[in-house]
Amino acid sequence: MTDLLIWADLTVTEFWLLLAITTGAGIVRGFSGFALSAVIMASASTFIPPVQLIPICFWLEFCASVMMGRGGWQEADRGLVFGLVISSAIGTPVGLYLTTTLPVDTSKTIVLILVIVLAVLLLAKVRFAFLATKPGLYLAGFVAGIIGGLAAVAGMVVALYVLSQDAGARKMRAALVLYLFITLATSLVYQIYFDVMTWTAIQRSAVFAIPTFAGVWLGQRFFVPKLEKYYRPFCLTLLAGLALAGLIRTMLS
């Protein structure tokens, strides 16, 4: 156990907290198709800087995408997804630049506020007519790229866009799965360029890959027709609550 903690460069408390967080985030990802990174950022950014969490989220998203990629390809609107992927690739370096230049406390606060705002918008079923247009598609992807680079919650921006199309639960879930899977390649290039991807992050990701796999597998078991209408409000309420609690702790510390 001691060797594992040294390898991952974590304290005992940080290890067990991350174990619980990554397992829970995997369950949410398996059930909803997104929010793994958002759950991790909302929960763990209070004791690990967001810039260190972003590469961890990358590898754990990779693990989840490997498990869920087939369903996303079969059911998603691929034209819509590819439009989001292309425009988000342009916005990602902007977000990564911000997250590598802003102070840790500022970055942490921005991350938590972004999670809260996006979760509330999605929960309130906010729809913007402009997003149903081609320019709206590319704008949503560009903003998702910026937020993905800054806070690793691009999936929530994409979810807001898909929601504006009145997509059903399965179509929304499939689009998110496919989007997150494809954008992993560009995200890795940018993270290496900005020196965000470190060996410590890779080692930590290896430690928490198994609980993430277990969580995703369990979450997928819950995605059955009779529960589809509950998946969105459950996940978004959870995200907003976690982010709000983290923001309060940050302000009081």
Scan for tokens 């996940």, then name that residue: 235
Give the residue carrying structure tokens 């990779």: 62
Please tell me the predicted confidence (pLDDT) of residue 246.
75
Rg (Cα) of the chain, in Å, rounded?
Answer: 17
Q: Which residue has tokens 């309420």? A: 237
Q: Give the per-residue pLDDT at 45.
A: 81
Q: What is d(CA 65, CA 11) in angstroms, rounded to the nearest whole number?
A: 29
What is the pTM for the complete model shown?
0.77
The greatest distance separating any two alpha carbons of the chain, rounded to the nearest whole angstrom, comes to 55
CA 136 from centre of chain:
21
The confidence score (pLDDT) of residue 167 equals 67
CA distances, 161 to each of 165, 190, 212, 245 (Å): 7, 24, 26, 26
Predicted confidence at residue 247, as pLDDT, reads 80
pLDDT reported for residue 166: 66
Contact 47, 17 (CB under 8 A): yes
Closest CA to 95 of 5, 207, 16, 190: 190
Question: Under DSSP, is residue 128 helix (H, G, I), strand (E, B) or coil?
Answer: coil
- What is the pLDDT at residue 213? 94
Q: How far apart are CA 238 and CA 119, in angstroms?
A: 9
Q: What is the pLDDT along the chain (253 residues), one digit of tens a residue?
A: 777 787 778 899 999 999 999 999 999 888 878 788 888 888 888 788 888 888 898 899 888 888 876 655 666 677 888 888 899 888 888 887 887 787 766 777 777 787 788 778 878 877 767 777 888 889 888 988 887 777 666 777 777 777 667 667 777 778 777 887 887 777 788 788 878 888 988 999 999 999 999 999 999 888 887 877 787 788 778 878 888 877 887 777 6
